[in-house]
Amino acid sequence: MEILFFVLGIITLIAALLVALQRNVRHAALFLAISCLGVAGLLYLLQAPVVATTQLVVYGVGIAALIRFSPRPLRQMTRPDALGPAPRWWGAALVAVALGGILIWGALAYPGASGAATDAHTDFILPLIVGVILLPLAMTAAVRIGGRR
Amino acid sequence: MSTSIFDFAWLIPLCPFVVFGIIMLFTPRNRAASEQLALYGIVVTLVLALATFVSAVVMVIEGSPLPVSSPLFTWFSHHGQALTIGIYLDPLSVLMLFSLALICLMVLIYGQDTWLSLRDGHTFAIISLLVAGVFGLLVFDNWLVFFFFWEFIDVSTYLLVVLRPEEKRVPEAGLQTFVIQQVSSLCFLLGLALLYSHTGSLSYSQVLSPQALGALGQGFMGTQFPVAAVVALLFLGGAMGKSAQFPLHVWLPGATRAPAPLSAIIHTAATSAGIFLLLRAAPLFSAASGSLHLGGLDVSIVTLVGTVTAIFAALVSLVQRDVLLAISFSTISQLGYAIAALGLGGRVAGIFHLTTSIFTSALLLLAAGSVARGMAHGGSNDPNDMLNMGGLSGQQPVTFWSFFVGAMACSGLPFITAGFWSKEAILSLAWVSSRPAFWILAAAAGITAFGAVRQLWLIFFGSPRSDISARAPESPTSMITPTALLALMAIGLSVTGIPKELDLFPNLIETFVGPDSAAAEPVIESMPLGIAAVVGGLILGFLFYVWKPLRAGEMDRLETAMRTVWLGWLHDFFQRRAHVDRAYQAIFGRGTQILANALRQIDDLVDDLIDETPWVIAQLSQGSRWLDDRVLDPLAQYVGQASRGLARAVDVFEQTVLIRLPDGIRIGTLALARAAHLLDRRVLSPLVDGMGNAVKMMGLSLRPRTGKLQSYLLLASLTVLMLAAISYLFLHT
Amino acid sequence: MTPALSWYLILGALLFSAGLYTVLARRNGVIALMGIVLILNSVTLNLVAFWRYAESASFDGQVFAMAVIVITIAQVAVGLGLIVALWRRYSTAVLDEADALKE
């Protein structure tokens, strides 16, 4: 089974790195979708099918569809980006590597981390409620901020 | 029994959903291809639905009972909890499959003319999604899946309403649809959450079983009010939004802005979802019935909502100039009737009336669409304005007869129309349970009859009141045929629901659906009163509009009459739909703006506070400079003076005492004094000055000044890094 | 051998780094938003990994992860709206050019 982890992990990671480095915005969106699909696969591996399916549908299909069927302003914005990373890229890389390193060190130093054993009787309705309240608000806000024609 | 067609019932919603996906992915801009795909998908669905209905009827005739329930698959399971989804078909859902399938079929045929005016394929995808949502509600056995398809209907009705955003009033209609649908979905979802947390399951059979209902009888959060009642109220909220009950009705008239066939589907299929919800949850409502009665009234809140909606919508419909709005409000009124029936405990009556009213509404909307098309072809700017019509019975004969049947069915012409029998069933229930409700509902029936005659005569009789209507052609066969067929169905349905007591014909509906659990026997004695109400309305209509047909340029005679008795304000009040739209705008629109302004004030305050920090730091640095100037410098000076004093003392000492000491000692002492001078001048003062300057510099350079968002973010990440490093150090030493 | 918890956490950390770099160093606003999505993906991964290896009887980790996903997509929607507004105002989607706060 671990081969599946490695394959999915490498796909996810490489796709993420490509998002970080790729200049063409549309390609970056594609790689983002691939990375999200990879994470969805990993979540299946972790035996959390509901989260994995949500991840799959919401991210993998949703974001890809969003970029693909986007209205005109979005399409104009996502034309191939001729600019490279900003001059501060080395600082960003430094910080990213450093923080990532701290996280990795933490992961290695506390291997059998036990999750917080809460006793709360939650169920899946809760995120659904959050979604039903939050998503329409967010969409309305996005439409209002983006401006109507 | 081995596999039957019922096991394939899940295909009914699946086909249009798959078509939706295909169109969106592959042919969104290709109108012709999308139209073909959508048509095939929906036709498959309709065929399956009708086949299912036929099999069900056969089963009932053969004596084996519905409901049929067969599990499909287990979605996921974790530590013993599992979610299983299956098919559940009972007479109600099969009957709705039949009705909606027929109506969708008629709309599809009717729409051939409209599809030509669409620009791309998106619309067909959305129509498929709507069909998938409507049919998906009917076949599954789980509330969660129900909600899933309910949301499909939400999304697709919104998208269909805003199909042509450049037309007037469409954006507001879209917003109203969206907001009201979401509010009602939220109510529904909260009800589901409550249901789940108290019963641990969401499948119909488990949730509606006696044990579960007993568990729901406990008090809600410590009060006396049972959980079942809270859930029932929340479900009612969901149904009110979906089926356009007062005061959540404002979105449905806006939906008339969509093209006629789409508007017809929305008015019938989408709104029946709400009533279907109430029917499915009926055991819940009966378990909670004691608590649903308001105050001292003898009637449940469900009945209240339905009755108020019925009379309100009937009144508004009476004074509208726009024929589509008039029909839309009369649809709302019919839906109110159905809900009132459910509140009075009349399940059979409610189902029957729902079925008849969706056929009637679809018929009227399609016929009105045909009239509007004729007017538009005649060159009208506002093809729906009834005051410009007149005399169309000659020019659009088929449309006229279909509209006639629809109007009569809607008002409940005694004995031959389906609308009559279903209204009678409801009225007789009200007669027994609640007299006030009876009088209100009867009045609503009379007003609806009045309004129906008004519409008929304004549109079709007299001489044309404008040359536009003189020119209006009949619509193409693709439009008038389904309209006529729907008219036949409206008449045909009437024989299915005649109450048993009359001994004329078996009450097919009741036999199929099963009698009401409560022994609320419909009675006949209320029938004369009901007939009187309808006939009274018809006579009023005759007096106002038929006796002397309206001439061109004349104002609506009812309006004239009301103004004469100083009731003109009442007329305007209802014509503007009781200002409900404006009230919503005022409360929620302005309210949100006020809230946003208040929050912005707080935000500005925080900004100002942040802007003051450089001032604070500047003060600090000035403080340290003061410290330097007033305290440290003098201190250093004192040190200098003291060291000078010391030096002088040493001098004196030297001259008086040490002059006799060797020169080396004298020189050493002198050096000490000079060192003190040096320390003061070169080290202490610059140090203190430097500190003051350093603090000032810190104050100036604390914020990055580039204005670039990501620079700030970088700084923040660096800070996090430093904090992480510092806390590591603290934790580990 | 099945993957250990730390493997998932390390993968999450690496995703986090990639996302952080993307947010900080890419000039196009849309790509910066993608970086945020990457970061939140790593959060989701971590949450579910901890849940799985903690062997609890309830769904807590999954519920939390799903809430994160939902909130992320809402944030992406609003963020895209902001970028569109930026685009309309400044005719550019490059974040560095929106420096009206510069002193």
C4-23 pLDDT, tens per residue? 777 888 899 999 999 998 88
Count CB-CB contacts under 10 A for residue B28. Answer: 17
Which chain B residue shows the shortest CA-CA distance from A106? Answer: B728
Domain ranges of chain B: 1-141, 142-231+245-280, 293-575, 611-702, 707-733
Asked whether this complex has an ipTM greater than 0.95, the answer is no
Query: Residue A119 — pLDDT band, cuts 50, 70, 90?
Result: very low
**B717 min Cα distance to partner chain C (Å):** 9
Q: Please name the chains neighbouring C, where neighbouring means 3+ C-beta pairs under 8 angstroms.
A: A, B
- Check if the beta carbon of residue B403 is closer than 8 Å to that of residue B367: yes
| C43 vs A: CB within 8 A | no
Look up tokens 């603090």; give the residue: B695
CA distances from B652 to B248, B400, B676 (A): 104, 132, 17
pLDDT band at residue B125 under the 50/70/90 scheme? confident
Q: pLDDT for C19-57, tens place per residue?
A: 998 888 887 788 888 899 999 999 999 988 888 877 666
Q: With an 8 Å Cβ cutoff, is A93 touching chain C?
A: yes
Distance CA B111, CA B475 (A): 12
How many helices (H) and strands (E) chain B has is answered by 33, 2
The set of residues, in sequence order, having a beta carbon less than 8 Å from that of B10 and lying 6+ positions away, is: B72, B87, B139, B140
B53 confidence band (pLDDT: 50, 70, 90) = confident
**B-chain residues within 8 Å CB-CB of C98?**
709
pLDDT (tens digit per residue) in A45-73: 888 888 888 888 788 667 666 665 555 55
- From the list C5, C66, C70, the residue facing A134 with the nearest CB is C70
Residue B366's contacts (CB-CB under 8 Å, 6 or more residues apart) are B106, B107, B110, B260, B261, B264, B402, B479, B482, B483, B486
- pLDDT of B650 > 70? The answer is yes
Q: Is B87 helix (H, G, I), strand (E, B) or coil?
A: strand
Of C24, C99, C102, the CB nearest to B717: C24
Peptide bond into B67 cis (omega under 30): yes
User: Per the structure block, which two tokens stand in for B621?
Assistant: 């640095």
Confidence grade of residue A100 (pLDDT, cut at 50, 70, 90): confident
Residues of C in contact with A76 (CB under 8 A): 87
Q: What's B701's DSSP letter?
A: H
- Does B720 reach chain A within 8 Å, measured CB to CB? yes
For A131, nearest residue in chain C (alpha carbons): C70
Q: Is B661 helix (H, G, I), strand (E, B) or coil?
A: coil
The Cα–Cα gap between B705 and B18 comes to 54
Query: Residues near B150 by Cβ (< 8 Å), separated by ≥ 6?
Result: B133, B137, B185, B188, B238, B242, B273, B277
Is A74 at the interface with chain C, CB within 8 A?
Answer: yes
- CA dist B9 and B60 (Å) reads 18
Contact B190 A123 (CB under 8 A): no
User: A82 touching C, CB under 8 A?
Assistant: no
8 A C-beta contact, residue B347 and residue B509: no
Residue of A nearest to B175 (CA): A140
Residue A124, helix vs strand vs coil: coil
Q: How far apart are CA B251 and CA B266, in angstroms?
A: 11
Q: Which candidate in A6, A39, A53 is best for mutational testing of the C interface (most C CBs within 10 A)?
A: A39
Cα of A71 to nearest chain C Cα, Å: 10
Residue type, B541: G
Interface touch A113/C50, C-beta < 8 Å = yes
| Element housing B70 (H / E) | strand B68-78
Looking up tokens 């610059």, which residue turns up?
Answer: B686
Tokens of C43: 């959060």
Across residues B430-456, what is the average pLDDT? Answer: 85
B83 to chain C nearest CA, in Å? 14
User: Do residues B370 and B327 lie in contact, with contact meaning Cβ atoms separated by under 8 Å?
Assistant: no
Copy the structure tokens of residue B103: 């109506």
Question: If DSSP codes are grouped into helix, strand and coil, which group holds residue B78?
Answer: strand
| pLDDT in the model for residue B498 | 65
Alpha-carbon distance of B629 to B617, in angstroms, equals 18
Q: Which of A88, A125, A148 sits opposite B196 (nearest CB)?
A: A125
Q: Return the residue in C17, C22, C23, C86 with the most chain B beta carbons within 10 A, the one to mutate for interface testing.
A: C23
- What is the rounded average pLDDT of the residues B552-558? 67
The model's pTM is 0.71
CB contact under 8 A, C96 and B78: no
Cα–Cα distances in Å, from B606 out to B296, B411, B711, B713? 52, 62, 22, 20
Identify all chain A residues contacting B185, using CB atoms and an 8 Å cutoff: 132
Checking if the pLDDT of A122 tops 60, the result is no
**Contact assignment for B710 to C102 by CB distance below 8 Å:** no
Computed on alpha carbons and rounded to an integer, the radius of gyration of chain A in Å comes to 19
User: How far separated are the first and last CA of chain C, in Å rounded?
Assistant: 58
Number of neighbouring beta carbons within 10 Å of residue B399: 28
Query: Given CB atoms, is B182 within the 8 Å cutoff of chain A?
Result: yes
Q: What would the pLDDT profile of B338-376 be if each residue is shown by its tens digit?
A: 998 888 877 888 888 898 889 999 999 998 888 888 877
Burial status of residue B432 (CB atoms within 10 A of its CB: 0-12, 13-18, 19 or more): middle
Task: Report chain B residues whose CB lies below 8 A from the CB of A133.
Answer: 186
Q: How far apart (Å, rounded) are the C-alpha atoms in residues B515 and B497?
A: 12
Pairwise CB contact (< 8 Å): B707 & C100 = yes
The alpha carbon dihedral of B191, B195, B200, B202 has a sign of: negative
Diameter of chain A measured on Cα atoms = 55
Per-residue confidence (pLDDT) for residue B16, from 0 to 100: 86
Is the four-CA dihedral C20, C21, C24, C26 of positive or negative sign?
A: negative
Give me the torsion for CA of A19, A22, A25, A27, rounded to 10°: -80
Tokens 């007062």 appear where?
B246
Q: Which of B701, B705, B709, B720 is the best mutation test for C, with the most CBs of C within 10 A?
A: B709
Domain range C5-93, its CATH number among 1.10.10.60, 2.40.50.1020, 3.90.1720.10, 1.10.287.3510: 1.10.287.3510
Tell me the shortest Cα–Cα distance from A23 to chain C, in angstroms. Answer: 9
B4 phi and psi angles, rounded to 5 deg: -125, -175
Pairing relationship of beta strands B81-89 and B68-78 according to DSSP bridges: antiparallel
Q: Any idea which of B90-104, B168-182, B333-347, B641-655 has the lowest mean pLDDT?
A: B641-655
Contacts of B219 (CB under 8 A, 6+ apart): B225, B226, B227
- The reply to whether residue A48 touches residue C48, judged by beta carbons under 8 angstroms, is yes
Q: Chains contacting A with at least 3 CB pairs below 8 Å?
A: B, C
The reply to whether C103 touches chain A by the CB within 8 Å rule is no
Scan residues 103-142 of A and list those with Cβ closer than 8 Å to C: 103-104, 106-108, 111-115, 117-118, 120-124, 126-127, 130-131, 134-135, 137-139, 141-142
* Token pair belonging to B95: 């009957």
Highest mean pLDDT among A53-67, A105-119, B421-435: B421-435
What SS3 class is residue B541?
helix
| Cβ–Cβ under 8 Å, residues B86 and B70 | yes
Q: Which is higher by pLDDT, A55 or B7? A: A55
Q: What is the mean pLDDT of residues B57-78?
A: 67
- Cβ distance C24 to A25 less than 8 Å, yes or no, reads no
**Would an 8 Å CB–CB cutoff place A3 in contact with chain C?**
no
Partners of B711 on chain A (C-beta within 8 Å) are 88
Contact criterion met (CB < 8 Å) for A125 and B28: no
Instruction: State the nearest Cα–Cα gap between A9 and chain B, in angstroms.
Output: 24
Q: Is the pLDDT of residue B519 over 50?
A: no
Contact A132 B193 (CB under 8 A): no
Q: Could you tell me if C23 lies within 8 Å of chain B, comparing CB atoms? A: yes
Q: Provide the pLDDT confidence category of residue B512 given band limits of 50, 70 and 90.
A: low
DSSP element (H, E) containing C78 = helix C60-90
3-state DSSP assignment of residue C56: coil
Q: CB distance A48–C25 less than 8 Å?
A: no
| Contact yes or no for B713 and C24 at CB 8 A | yes
